[in-house]
Amino acid sequence: MLITRRLEFDAGHRIPNHDSQCRHLHGHRYALEITLSGQIIDVEGVSEQGMVMDFSAVKTIANEMLVNHWDHAFLAYRGDAAVVAFLATLPGHKTVVLDVVPTAENLAAEAFRVLDKAYVDTYGNQLRLERVRLYETPNNWADAVR
């Protein structure tokens, strides 16, 4: 069985070497779809009976591990020295410095890497992360899969 939880967040980025307007500082309303696989929990009387994982627990973990860190942050490539240096001059600015260019593909891969450690099987139902889909715009997305 597969279940998917969608979350949305806002973040800034730029793709410094891209041959288009994407090289300018700008932002997106990103959407993250987290797909988990597992057996349906059949433990009589527990809160999660009939579920693979409680959707609210999927959200809580995603927020704690990832979304709260990226929401309203500027996602900057470590190699984008001018932007990293500039943002460091803004007191208290929320900047996430990444080792990769913040494309949809790289953000999806990073989200998968972070979240894969976070979803653990507590009911013996083989719970595991299967896919992270990261929408940069409603028309453009990337899938990181196992």
Ligand X SMILES: Nc1nc2c(c(=O)[nH]1)N=C([C@H](O)[C@H](O)COP(=O)(O)OP(=O)(O)OP(=O)(O)O)CN2
* Binding region: 13, 26, 28
Asked if residue 135 binds ligand X (CB under 6 A), the reply is no
Contact track, ligand X, 95-134, x by CB under 6 A:
--------xxx-----------------------------
Question: Which residues are registered as beta bridge partners of 128?
Answer: 37
**How far apart are alpha carbons 100 and 113 in whole angstroms?**
13
Distances (CA, A) of 128 to 2, 37, 56, 136: 10, 5, 16, 24
**Do residues 42 and 29 make contact, with C-beta atoms less than 8 angstroms apart?**
no
**Residues from 20 through 49 that contact ligand X (CB under 6 A):** 22
**Catalytic-residue membership of 136:** yes
CB of residue 52 to ligand X, shortest distance in Å: 30
Task: List contacts with ligand X (CB under 6 A).
Answer: 15, 22, 103-105, 136-137, 139-140
